[in-house]
A and B are shown apart, each in its own frame.
Chain A
Amino acid sequence: MNRSTGRRLAAAAMTVVALTASTAACSSGDGNTSAESADGGTYTVWDPYPQFDKSSAWAKLLDSCGTEAGVKIKRTAYDTSDLTNKALLAAQQDNSADVLIVDNPVVSTLAEGGVLTTTDDNKLDTSKVDPNLLAAGQTGGKTYGTPIGANTLALYYNKEVLKAAGVDIASVKDWDSLTAALAKVDKAGKKGITFSAIGTEEGSFQFLPWFWGSDAKLTELDSAEGVSALKLWSDWLKKGYAPNSVINNTQTTSWQEFASGDYAFAENGTWQLAGAEKAGFEYGVIPVPAAKGGSAAAPTGGEFVTIPVQGETGRYATSQKLVSCLTNSQNLLDTDTTLSYVAPTGEVQDKQVAADPKLKPWVDAVKAAKGRTSDDLGTKYPKISEQMWKAVQSALSGSQSPKDALTAAQDAVK
């Protein structure tokens, strides 16, 4: 009896092997046919804008660019945080999209993986793009795409709260005067400032304007300047100028706190402009001040349009046409207006400001902004950033002093 069980098992195993082999054959066959049909004129576009459905202006723009280039567009929208892994997996299976729109700090990671073509290969024209924005997509002297738009961080302030506390916004020029303003607001019984110091990339993104504003460099986290920036934040928490909840705040929850009307300041991005109009109180925007006056460089956000490597190099010409169409001046203006982004070229920025003067401080902020992966940091940035947000969390939660936290972070990066 036992012998027959063994035989049955062996037979079952063989059946399975046979079946697996045949399904594998099927699936590879599928791959071939889809590649062939794509050759007939379907081009795939992946973007991180799931909020736009088929009837949106963005989807229509993609279709019209497809028609112009004489091909059909198949668009797939992913969540931003999901897109990097999806793009890597697709590249692993040689099944990349023809046009890929990704968050700018991811570009250098994908480029490192050999997923993206350079502008030398795909003949994209990036001459009109502001160099500080383009830098986020450059690594090892090559450019891997062109920005579709940019956003950055600045300080929103609540005019009513400041007025009640007797603070003149013109007096806020550097860290000392900002802290003094927060002290006044605190005395007046209102809350000072809110930001996001969560333990993800968002936390690093929000800390960077202060870090760079102190003249610290990402290659040396534990410099005296870097420590002073972290100390500024942790002192605000200790004195109660910033709520303890910032440690767990995303940029959205931090914005909700500001929108409650109790807070004098909030560090947040261009994309909240529409929400600010609805907040129901008068607001203003100033650049994040640097330690000793002037504006601090804020990190650039926003996506890059890239052309992933394909087995069939003949497809690049059409992909290039698609990307050029998406990023021509008129389309950039439309897209960046819908996305609430600042355009990446001076020409379109001027048009945006002419149409909406409230964008002026944001255009200035974007011009002064800096890519996170710039300075040829490339794929070193993600490691530095992870240690940086951990240090911020340690210092703000009081488990380590700012100096110890940043020293530990610097050691971990090495």
Chain B
Amino acid sequence: MNRTTQLPDRRTVRDRKGAATAAPPPPRTAPRRRPTSQQWAAWGFLAPVTLYLILFYAYPLYRNVDLSLRNYTVRSFVQGDAPFTGLENYLTVFDDPTFAPALMHTVVFTVVSLVFQYAIGLALAVFFTQHFRLSATLRALFLVPWLLPLIVSASTWSWMLNSDSGVVNAALHAVGIDAVNWLTSPSWSLTSVILANVWIGVPFNLVVLYSGLQSIPASLYEAAALDGANAWQRFWRITFPLLRPVSAITLLLGLVYTLKVFDIIWIMTKGGPADSSTTFATWSYQLGFGNLLPAFGPGAAVGNLLVVAALVFGLVYLRVQRKQYAS
């Protein structure tokens, strides 16, 4: 199976190596029969990482899938005899009145966060490529949101956005705008958590895109300047296209991070009020742990939906990347 899947993908690699290994196949068969100590050593080196992957990735993932396919009650969780119910937990989740809003919030939260994080991050990265005094210091300061523990930044945001004693409402009041119930109004809570998440995500985009910009040769800009391209044209014709691979990986990583964002939302709004800021991540936690009576099955089902979503986008990324290399 491994062989067949590898054939079409690795054609270029195989061709190159195939030419090299085509000549001496007979001598290679000799050591194959009796593994040398070198090969044993190779397996020995491979074992820890494989074991690690199985113990910490494959097994938990398998358990999560298993959890989502059984009807776990408190009793059957303890006794370990939960009956297999197929896709019933998934149907429960789809039928739940929370499903549609949670899906929409997850999409809105992810897309809006990504767009703003990327746009602001790119703008700042381009800004910082022009070396000026204190640019390094300023850049370091922009990293602060990234370095702070999430619980600190989320709590700070929730204090700032407090309806009655928050600094944001005090500022609005000072300029004569009515106070907004940032965290306690169903129409604002999602906006508030997105705002906080964008603030936290910008530094990551800034760092990755900035390092991407460093790898674009300055000679291109000089040539473009000589041809009379203005700054705007230089950005759209040189920076943006050459930054595409870096942008793709930034957006993909951002997507995975944003899909699973839990702490910020949980600390700021607990997904409320009235589910108005519930995403799949908080909903999964709410089902599994947010209640005195845990619903492990449906909670795991929601978690798996998230994993699948992230996986789909990961595959899309791989495809896009392969096409880029092919062209």
Contacts and interface: CB of A to CB of B under 8 A. Distances in A.
Contact of B293 (A13, A244, A382): A382
Interface in A333-363: none
Interface in A364-411: 379, 381-383, 385-386, 390, 393-394, 396-400
Contacts of A4: 28, 32
A147 interface: no
Interface in A228-272: 243-245, 247-248, 257
B51 interface: yes
A198 interface: yes
Contacts of A243: 163-164
B291 A386 contact: yes
A253 B56 CA distance: 38
B296 to A, nearest CB: 9
B293 A109 contact: yes
Nearest to B294: A85
A114 B78 contact: yes
A16 B184 contact: no
Contacts of A20: 51, 54-55
B183 interface: yes
Interface in A70-114: 84-85, 88, 91-92, 105-106, 109-110, 112-114
Nearest to B275: A390
A141 interface: no
B135 interface: no
A7 interface: yes
B273 A397 contact: yes
A12 B164 contact: no
B185 A15 contact: no
Contacts of A248: 158, 162, 183-184, 269-270, 272-273
B289 interface: yes
A385 B272 contact: no
A192 to B, nearest CB: 12
A178 to B, nearest CB: 21
Contacts of A399: 186, 273-274, 276
A383 B276 CA distance: 20
B144 to A, nearest CB: 25
Interface stretch (B42-50, B114-122, B202-210): B42-50
Nearest to B181: A244
Interface in A46-72: none
Contact of A393 (B42, B47, B272): B272
A11 interface: yes
B291 A382 contact: yes
A3 interface: yes
Contacts of B2: 2, 5-6, 9
B47 A247 contact: no
A394 B50 contact: no
A289 interface: no
Contacts of B21: 1
Contacts of B17: 1
A20 B42 CA distance: 18
Contacts of A8: 39, 42-43
A383 B293 contact: yes
Contacts of B50: 12-13, 15-16
Summarize A's interface: helix, strand, loop or mixed.
helix
A245 B275 CA distance: 17
Contact of B274 (A88, A105, A390): A390
A393 B274 contact: yes
Contacts of A9: 2
Given A5-B2, A199-B272, A386-B291, A15 B28 contact: no
Contact of B292 (A201, A247, A257): A201
Contacts of B75: 112-114
A188 interface: no
Interface string B278-311: 0000000000011111100000000000000000
A19 interface: yes
A400 B28 contact: no
A106 B3 contact: no
A286 interface: no
B178 to A, nearest CB: 12
Interface string B6-28: 10000000000110010000001
A385 B292 CA distance: 9
A227 interface: no
B79 interface: yes
A332 interface: no
Nearest to A81: B289
Contact of A394 (B28, B164, B274): B274
A95 B64 CA distance: 22
A247 B164 contact: no
B104 to A, nearest CB: 15
A211 to B, nearest CB: 17
A199 B269 CA distance: 8
B240 interface: no
A1 B276 CA distance: 56
B74 A379 contact: yes
17 contacts: A4-B28, A8-B39, A8-B42, A15-B46, A15-B50, A84-B294, A92-B80, A106-B292, A115-B78, A200-B290, A248-B184, A385-B291, A386-B291, A396-B273, A397-B186, A397-B272, A398-B186
Interface of B: 2-3, 6, 17-18, 21, 28, 32, 35, 39, 42-44, 46-47, 50-51, 54-55, 73-75, 77-80, 97, 158, 162-165, 181, 183-186, 269-276, 289-294
Going nearest first, the 5 A-B pairs with the smallest beta carbon separation are A382-B293, A397-B273, A382-B292, A113-B74, A247-B184
Given A84-B292, A106-B292, A383-B293, 17 more contacts: A1-B17, A4-B32, A5-B2, A8-B39, A9-B2, A11-B35, A20-B55, A109-B74, A112-B75, A113-B73, A244-B164, A245-B184, A248-B269, A248-B272, A385-B291, A390-B272, A400-B274
